[in-house]
Chain A
Amino acid sequence: MDKRLFLSGNEAVAIAAKDAGVSLGVGYPGTPSTEILENFAEFGGRAQWAPNEKVALEVAIGAAFCKSRVISTMKHVGLNVAADPLYTVAYSGTPGGLVCVVADDPGMASSQNEQDTRRHAVAAGVPVLEPSDSQEAYDFTIKAIELAEKFNTLVILRVTTRICHSKCIVERAEKVSTEPVKEFIKDIKNRVMIPAYARMAHRKMRQRLADIQAINEESDFNKIIKGANDELGIICSGISYVHCRDAAPEANILKIGLTYPLPIEKMRKFAESVKRCVVVEEGDPHLYEACKVNNINVEGKDEMYRFGELDVNRVKRILAKDTTPEEPPKPGKPPQLCVGCPHRISYEILRDLDCIVSGDIGCYTLGVLPPFQAIDAVVCMGASIGMGLGMRASLPESDARRVVSVIGDSTFMHTGLNGITEMVYNRPETGHLVIILDNATTAMTGLQEHPGTGRKLDYTTANKIKIEDSVKGLGVDHCDVVDPLKDKDGLKALIEKRLASNDLSVIVVRRPCILALAKDKKMAEKNA
């Protein structure tokens, strides 16, 4: 085994999962988390895409109820989708090594918000580990599994864009414990969360957190770097740690790896050991607020540093209490829909027809930029249909008829089906039109498979769920399939006709992504 490797954080998590005998990885693609499962599959692990994060976590919970070691991967907003199972499996616990790897995106390189997953962990009541580089991404993945098994709890491994996509040198462990024998042991009171048992489980969960907090006071998840003198101390976690090492080489540093439940007494002792103690953390003031609640005398960062990523210069500014305006980043060339992208045609039509477009998350969100500017609202995965129905319900008839929901094929499989159900159930008086831009892949995150492509994560054949069958099954009035390249005028005429009617219509605009075609050719050659 090659011990010294040069790995991204995502690769490090994947290889650690393999080394730790994780028998199943399940998730939904989302930048910056996507490559974890792809890499896990490349290293020989069993990895699969679920239709969405909620289902992914539920599959993982079931596996962990049978003592499996299992990882569930997603981006930060994906955890919102999976929040329902998360908050209750936090009560029930599982006997397995259940780790939920969640990738936050401070600075929003490729996301619609910059929420901090540590808040979810506190609210749900599950421990969080925060690695600061690829080595720790490797080490903490293994430790997260061990922690999960020891305390019968789901553990969140919180990574961020820089951790996921930065490469660092990693040494693999010599020996890692093996996955226990899988079995289902009947344990109704800890598996069935009816109120009577959930009341007990909630108390157990709080006790579990207290027990983990106790071990965290002495655990090697946290480390202290001795400084040149006792002038300055920094409490930090995650990527901020490495920035601090560069920004303040003379400082004492308490780097926290297990950031919930926190080692409060260790933090107090550290803060008391220095003349000035500053908390440096990206995103929300999670560590800082815990210090304040516990009367630990620390300084936080100015509110201006809550936005975006930190880097070495920004950490220097935080330490210097510099709140002068920062240079805005120079605008580079924004991404755009590829030349030859089939989505272009749809957006040209919607722009020319002056539609009110309720949009969704994917490559096709780029239709909001010039020369189209043909999307009027985007909030989260699957929201296009529900929001469009709300608009139809609110606007006077002439404007209601202009409302179109636009969603991609992978997003439709993720949470779009629920919107169709709502449309059929609470039918607007003017009907509604949903356009599904089907490019036969999850393009934005790098061409992943989904339940509508007919292939699994590893490119082997799967059952293919046909969009038109599913919407017809739910009861829409019309479902047409159009190739936008072959019949642009026909597509435009059809959209106009459907908008003028009071019917519930779906138009599947079907043409494969040009990048996916290139990938298909490559995979065909590889498998030949």
Chain B
Amino acid sequence: MDNKVVNVTFAGLGGQGVLKVSDILADAAFLAGLDVKKSEVHGMSQRGGSVCSEVRYGAEVFSPMVPTGSSDFLVVLEETQVVVNDHKLAPTGVLLTVNDIDMDKLSNKKSMNVALLGFLSSYLDIPEECWTKALKNNLPEKIQEVNFEAFKYGASLKK
């Protein structure tokens, strides 16, 4: 494996599950045996403000914060937050947003965050069993099935 660190930034508003999907990605990378760091600022998220969470993984990761302009992927769960965060994207980076998701394809709209994570997964070199386990680790049992579906739908979207 090469030494490149993959930088992913998730953004949205409090209550959308930004931190949850960043937890799942970090756990999947962790389960894949990689070094991984995750960074976010807590405290205000429950009160509906902007929320941002960053995950970095690879052979060896130092800073937990993605340097501005270095996100390989920017995943935005709420349209208004694109312009707030787009400077974080690397020139060659990929932007995935809520607009990539057809909400009618989701049996529960709350799983939009996981659908976007599924879409992201199709770009990343993390084994499927790590994703499955990470989803199970981080979601309560009664909502796992609907989120597996959402993840699968997202993963099928790669253009």
Contact = CB atoms under 8 A, between A and B. Distances in A.
Given A109-B42, A311-B68, A312-B67, 18 more contacts: A6-B27, A6-B30, A32-B43, A110-B41, A162-B65, A165-B39, A166-B38, A167-B36, A168-B36, A169-B30, A243-B63, A245-B62, A311-B67, A327-B87, A330-B85, A332-B84, A338-B48, A446-B42
B50 interface: yes
A246 B62 contact: yes
B140 to A, nearest CB: 11
Contact of B67 (A169, A245, A246, A336): A246
A331 interface: yes
30 contacts: A32-B43, A109-B42, A110-B41, A133-B37, A133-B64, A161-B41, A162-B39, A165-B41, A166-B37, A166-B38, A167-B36, A167-B64, A168-B61, A168-B64, A169-B30, A169-B36, A242-B62, A245-B63, A311-B67, A312-B63, A312-B67, A327-B87, A333-B48, A333-B80, A333-B84, A335-B44, A335-B45, A337-B47, A363-B47, A445-B43
Interface in A141-185: 161-162, 165-169
A239 to B, nearest CB: 8
B26 interface: yes
B41 A333 contact: no
Contacts of A169: 30, 35-36
B64 to A, nearest CB: 4
Interface string B42-71: 111111111010000000011111011100
Contacts of A110: 41-44
A395 interface: no
Contacts of B62: 242-243, 245-246
Contact of A330 (B38, B39, B65, B83): B83
Contact of A313 (B13, B36, B48, B68): B68
A337 B49 CA distance: 10
A366 B43 CA distance: 13
Interface of A: 6, 31-32, 109-110, 133, 161-162, 165-169, 239, 242-243, 245-246, 311-313, 327, 330-338, 363, 366, 444-446, 515
B129 interface: no
A449 B49 CA distance: 24
Contacts of B40: 165-166
B43 A109 contact: yes
Most chain A beta carbons < 10 A, residue from B26, B40, B65: B65
A31 B43 contact: yes
Among B14, B37, B47, B69, residue most surrounded by chain A Cβ atoms (within 10 Å):
B47
Contacts of A312: 63, 65, 67
Instruction: Give chain B's interface secondary structure class.
Output: mixed
Nearest to A165: B42
Contacts of A165: 39-42
A333 B39 contact: no
A32 B43 CA distance: 8
Contacts of B144: none
A167 B55 CA distance: 9
A173 to B, nearest CB: 20
Contacts of A515: 46
B53 to A, nearest CB: 10
Nearest to A243: B63
Most buried by B among A242, A245, A330, A333: A333
B122 interface: no
Closest 4 CB pairs of A and B: A332-B50, A335-B47, A335-B49, A110-B43
A330 B68 CA distance: 12
A369 B114 CA distance: 33
A65 B151 CA distance: 55
A6 B26 contact: yes
A335 B14 contact: yes
Interface of B: 13-14, 26-27, 30, 35-50, 52, 61-65, 67-69, 80-81, 83-85, 87
A125 to B, nearest CB: 32
A13 to B, nearest CB: 15
A330 B86 CA distance: 10
A365 to B, nearest CB: 11
Contact of A331 (B27, B61, B69, B84): B84
A168 B80 CA distance: 30
A444 B44 CA distance: 8
A242 B63 contact: yes
Nearest to A241: B62
A330 B69 CA distance: 13
Contacts of A330: 83-85, 87
A333 B50 contact: yes
A155 to B, nearest CB: 25
B95 to A, nearest CB: 15
Nearest to B55: A167
B47 A336 contact: yes
Contacts of B46: 338, 446, 515
Contacts of A133: 37, 64
A49 B76 CA distance: 37
Contacts of A334: 49-50
A335 B30 contact: no
Contacts of B84: 330-333
A162 B54 CA distance: 12
Nearest to A339: B48
A331 B50 CA distance: 9
Contacts of B45: 335
A164 to B, nearest CB: 8
Contact of B47 (A239, A243, A313, A338): A338
Contact of A246 (B39, B63, B68): B63
B47 A166 contact: no
